[in-house]
Chains A and B, each alone.
Chain A
């Protein structure tokens, strides 16, 4: 069976859930080979990749790979596309993932599809475009299909693979090293599930009113085991860090449940959450566009409705 390369998305050595989704998907397309790029590779990671069906794990864990913007990862993948001739390359459709996919496409003269929500066995990708208005099936005609897939598109299912380890050395070109990361600034993340991975997301907007009041959003999220998101109005005001922004220029989330609190539902916000399965809105303005999307909505003051909801959820546990 043909090899399918899956680029592993990892933070501090921990494999992200989206990678398990991609491995699961890859098993329906061929034989998954995980590709580890950057430092942090260890036995735990390998075990996780094996558990979800990686038959091979290519490992390139030099620090160099992470110390330059995007290009080294594309170079590594291009090298593997050359040596392994995979049937496809799957990458998580994070902003960086899409950039890696783009550079890899140029290097290998291959077609690239970003933001797929599914891939059929013949490698046709499914997309939801124009803010969820149109469903598209797309395919790559030239080269090795490179497909960036949205987190939460496939349910991860375990199935043991051999995870045969193969060390890969990449000698990075000078141009791959042109943009140097001189400092990494981490803004605290907390113990909540990761935004793009979470089954439930609770987001707050301008209606929340202040950074302090975001505790109302956090408490609701915690009662549901959910991730916290924010609109641009809230991140721009400095009430919540930018990496929690949901929307056109923030994260695209596809959770089972999305609760929008004090968010009007501007088109740029909708672009990042429209594919959520169930949408709930709390907003004092009955004309807010978010209600057009909501499966359930309450017109009311979030400062009373939300704490009451949190209490009620706790009671029902």
Chain B
């Protein structure tokens, strides 16, 4: 089975994240780039599917050259190889364009299952799996906390507002996972060493047959027109419970007219 897992590098959420004043895109230089947390769950699920059904796991990342660190992390976890879509022409692409670019690569490399995380911590769009399913004309099996493959049938549990749906489709399919699905493995020392030798194919926009006029900041379908650092929250009042902590909170709530 040909399993492709889409992995994104994002600015570390533990550091101060910024937009660039010049072109108002995410400043990917300012903060350390790390693997988007949920993508680790996507990689883990891809590895488990491979372990159960055989085949190969390919990591797919679109991002600047420093995103290779993130690719190595996924390879160290156990993925077999990677495709890195990297080209200055991609800078500033929005969700619509990213989905176009990744879909072009996926059409080129082929897949039985594409696995994504449900949401990235930087853009927080939570739309990419849906967009890829639309572009690839493949079933959308998103927000999964359980995935099962049985021959050419794939079944997931999709988390919903009321509980979950059991959803079924035929392969090939696009899957997105939530963090409840598994516990991602830590790369072993052996895994880290092996990752250094695993093949990473870099593709330019031209290599992937992406129309350069359809990607990048200039042709993005959305634009940030303005941004400002939010004023910090005013420091609150923190009290130690002296046996009357509950009463004190009630007084605070009353002062704010909540009770």
Contacts and interface: CB of A to CB of B under 8 A. Distances in A.
Interface in A119-147: 124, 128-143
Given A140-B221, A185-B166, A295-B236, A249 B179 contact: yes
B119 A74 contact: no
B23 interface: no
**A179, A186, A313: residue with the most chain B Cβ atoms closer than 10 Å:** A179
Interface string B4-19: 0000000001101111
B252 A95 contact: no
B109 interface: no
A298 B127 contact: no
B258 A224 contact: yes
Contacts of B240: 286, 298-300
Interface string A61-91: 0000000011100100000000000000000
Nearest to B221: A111
Contact of A132 (B131, B230, B254): B230
Among B94, B99, B145, chain A packs the most CB atoms within 10 A around the CB of B94
B125 to A, nearest CB: 5
A297 interface: yes
Interface in B89-134: 94-96, 99, 118-119, 121-122, 124-131, 133-134
Contact of B169 (A94, A178, A286, A300): A178
Contact of B139 (A137, A179, A304): A179
A98 B124 CA distance: 10
Contacts of A317: 259
B163 A185 contact: yes
Given A99-B130, A316-B259, A136 B169 contact: no
B1 interface: no
> What DSSP secondary structure best describes chain A's contact surface?
mixed
A170 to B, nearest CB: 16
B14 to A, nearest CB: 7
A291 interface: yes
Contact of B249 (A96, A178, A186, A305): A305
Nearest to A189: B162
A298 B163 contact: no
A299 B227 contact: no
A95 B118 contact: yes
Given A184-B165, A186-B162, A95 B241 contact: no
A95 to B, nearest CB: 6
B152 interface: no
A309 to B, nearest CB: 4
B38 to A, nearest CB: 7
B165 A181 contact: yes
A158 interface: no
A140 B96 CA distance: 11
A171 interface: no
B3 to A, nearest CB: 18
A248 B121 contact: yes
A43 interface: no
Contacts of B126: 95, 98-99, 114
A102 B131 contact: yes
Interface stretch (A33-41, A51-59, A236-244): A236-244
A248 B124 CA distance: 9
Interface residues of B, number: 85
Interface stretch (B46-54, B75-83, B153-161, B186-194): B153-161
Contact of B253 (A101, A135, A286, A313): A313
Interface string A180-198: 1111111101000000000
B225 interface: yes
Interface in A252-300: 256-257, 267-268, 271, 278-280, 282, 286, 291, 293-300
Contacts of B213: none
A74 B134 CA distance: 10
Contacts of A189: 162
Contacts of A139: 222-223, 225
A31 interface: no
Nearest to B117: A249
A232 interface: yes
A305 B248 CA distance: 9
Contacts of B166: 181-185
Nearest to A310: B246
B236 to A, nearest CB: 4
Given A69-B158, A74-B134, A286-B240, A298 B245 contact: yes
Interface string B28-41: 00000000011000
A213 interface: no
Given A184-B160, A313-B253, 12 more contacts: A69-B139, A99-B142, A110-B221, A111-B221, A124-B225, A134-B229, A185-B164, A278-B256, A280-B252, A291-B236, A298-B245, A308-B245
Going nearest first, the 6 A-B pairs with the smallest beta carbon separation are A300-B241, A308-B246, A102-B127, A111-B221, A309-B246, A178-B139
Interface of A: 11, 69-71, 74, 94-96, 98-103, 105-107, 109-115, 124, 128-143, 175, 178-187, 189, 200, 224, 232, 235-236, 241-243, 248-249, 256-257, 267-268, 271, 278-280, 282, 286, 291, 293-301, 304-313, 316-317
